[in-house]
Amino acid sequence: MANVSGSVQLKNGIYYMILSTKIGGRRKQKWITTRLPERGNKKVANRMLSNILDGIDTGEIDVQILFENPGYYKEKIYKQDTENSNDTKNQKNVLFCDYLVEWVQLQKSKVKPCTYASDANTVYKHLYPYFK
């Protein structure tokens, strides 16, 4: 088994997975794009990296081929991630109005107070009663 480490980096607004290992006594690095934009996708990018590292550990992915020709595994990487994101077992049925309340609470720490106040007013005064 090869000793491969990895990290997720942001480059030009897109997340990349950086894999590092030693091949033939020389240190090699490979940057593989996740095709994910920066906003809200760091966990997904880390999950993709974890899937690759797990595949390397189990022998499902050959390190030599990955470092020489990363395109060989790209379809598998992206397909596996879309399968995981469409998994209905992990999704719960939530009413839209309940989702809006959760969303407003999450936005509180991400936006300016005046933006939060406006969003909260819209959700609680107009949208929540309509969709309830």
Q: Give the pLDDT mean for 124-129.
A: 89
Q: Give the pLDDT mean for 107-122.
A: 90
DSSP string, 25-49: TEEEEEEEEEEEESTT-HHHHHHHH
Angle value at C-alpha 106, between 93 and 129, nearest 5 degrees: 60
What are the tens digits of pLDDT across the range 64-107?
A: 777 777 566 666 566 555 555 544 444 567 788 888 888 898 88
Q: Give the pLDDT mean for 21-28.
A: 85
Which of residues 67 and 53 earns the better pLDDT score? 53
pLDDT of residue 83: 53
Which of residues 69 and 117 earns the better pLDDT score? 117
CA–centroid distance for 63 within its chain:
22
pLDDT of residue 87: 46
Q: How far, in Å, are 12, 26, 30, 54 from residue 62 at the CA level?
A: 29, 17, 14, 12
Say if residue 9's pLDDT is above 90: yes
